[in-house]
A and B are shown apart, each in its own frame.
Chain A
Amino acid sequence: MMIPDWKLERFLTGDLPEEEMNKLRELEANDAVFANRVKMLREDNKAILSKLPFETLAANLGTGAAGNAAKIAAKNAVRFTLVKFAAAAMFVFAIALVAFFAQRETSVMNERVGGDVATVNGSQNTQVALAETQSDTRIKGLDARMEVWKKTPAGIVQLNDLDSVGEGDEIQLRYAVPEKCFGLLFSMDGNGALTLHMGDGVKAIELAPGKMNSLPFAYKLDDAPYFEKFFFVTSPKEFAVEENDVDKLLKRSDVKVIGFTLKKAGK
């Protein structure tokens, strides 16, 4: 879930209605991307106030009519360059992307969705464990969606957002889109490591509409703490994830992002 800037600002100042404040507090506790945005904005707040302290303004308070305010302020404005929020976000994601491209799962990144079962290298990936349940369910007219399932001794169970999981759990991702589009599916864990589960290298792949698709491999959770967050990104146009571009991608107006967070139990 991408929170727009104006709402995030009001969250920081505590000016949202209580219900929304609570929702975002919970999101901050469980969603690393959102928590990062909040953290960086708090740091940015300090930088702004240290560069433009109240004293700079105080000297001009009450000295003139509002009509002169701009002139006064302009005369006394401190010129400075801040490390902008966006730049900081890029930096964080640049680090994460190093992990992203270095991961062993890279070997499966180019696997195209479509086959029922794919043999995958790497200990964290196992062959698909799920039956093709509802594989022909038509979803025309609905929004794109993503499902997360877990393999248990008793069978497979569908997980809900913010459900708890543990190290070693086998997770299967499924998705569906209502119309022809391009899509990417990746995850971020509590160590900040990104893993691409579906895509063509760094590019989104073309997705066929109309039925629920299982990814050709299940995903075994490692020991990363706190959470595993999945992102399903779709767009009518082709798009790619480039280095430093993940945060920008998630904010783009021409893409739809579906997020799904699993809490890591006992972490």
Chain B
Amino acid sequence: MKSLETLKKAGFAKIYEKYAPMVYRRCLQLLRDDAEASDLMQDVFLRIYSASERLDMESPSSLLWNTATRLCLNRIRDKRRRGLDVDSSSLLLSIACAEDEHDDYETKNVLAKLFLKEPESSRTMAVLHFVDGMTLEETAREVGLSVSGVRKRLRGLQAKVKTLEVQ
């Protein structure tokens, strides 16, 4: 008789095979490094797996896409802070490095925040809107907020990015 863990892994394998290429390409798009992208891609799936019982895995593309975006932005920001070379566009760097009130909390509790459906990171929204080219409506649908809520968060972030540019 197969153990529950084995069954869970078999179900997760299907999700992995369907979505891993998408997640990998997303990481590669943001990090521009094959090795880092494959590292982050596995990180995304390991995190999702460990919390999969709490998640709706029926159609996880948004969850995986946004988690990958968030983790990549954290990676970019951390590398920047450590003074390492970061091969990303200045827009991404600005977005990744913009501070917000959730910053520290978010770094430590990325998934907890995501899974508890607390407000999405402004940075992720900014990437969806400014980098991916989603409309405000599409961004709002993606993160489960109202259009006006997204607009407000993006305005706040834009102001912070401007402050960063002035510094």
Contact = CB atoms under 8 A, between A and B. Distances in A.
A66 B59 contact: no
A49 B21 contact: yes
A29 interface: no
Contact of B38 (A10, A79, A84, A85): A79
Contact of A5 (B9, B19, B29, B51): B29
Q: What is the interface of chain B mostly: helix, strand, loop, or mixed?
A: helix
B111 A66 contact: yes
B132 A61 contact: no
A9 B26 CA distance: 9
A56 B133 contact: no
Contact of B46 (A6, A13, A44, A57): A57
Given A6-B132, A84-B28, A13 B19 contact: yes
B16 A54 contact: yes
Contacts of A45: 21
B39 A74 contact: yes
A185 B40 CA distance: 41
B65 A9 contact: yes
B143 interface: no
A4 B132 contact: yes
Contact of B61 (A9, A48, A84): A9
A52 B34 contact: no
Contacts of B26: 9
A52 B132 contact: no
B61 A56 contact: no
A15 B61 contact: yes
A54 B13 contact: yes
Nearest to B52: A61
Given A6-B132, A6-B134, A48-B21, A73 B46 contact: yes
A44 B21 contact: yes
Interface in B1-38: 5, 9, 12-13, 16-22, 24-26, 28-29, 34-35, 38
Contacts of A6: 65, 128, 132, 134
Interface string A65-78: 11001101110111
Contacts of A74: 39, 43
Contacts of B35: 77, 79-80
B108 to A, nearest CB: 9
A15 B9 contact: no
B42 A73 contact: yes
Interface string A249-263: 000010000000000
Contacts of A61: 9, 12, 46, 49
A41 B41 CA distance: 17
A76 B45 CA distance: 13
A62 B134 contact: no
A136 to B, nearest CB: 35
Contact of B133 (A4, A52, A57, A81): A4
A45 B16 CA distance: 11
- Residue of B13, B25, B41 ringed by the most chain A CB atoms within 10 A: B25
A157 interface: no
A191 interface: no
Given A9-B22, A49-B21, A77 B39 contact: yes
A265 interface: no
B104 to A, nearest CB: 15
Interface string B50-62: 1100000001011
Nearest to A77: B39
Nearest to A63: B46
A51 B117 CA distance: 34
11 contacts: A6-B134, A12-B22, A48-B24, A49-B21, A70-B39, A72-B46, A73-B39, A74-B43, A76-B42, A77-B39, A85-B25
Interface of A: 4-6, 9-10, 12-13, 15, 41, 44-45, 48-49, 51-52, 54, 56-58, 60-62, 65-66, 69-70, 72-74, 76-82, 84-85, 253
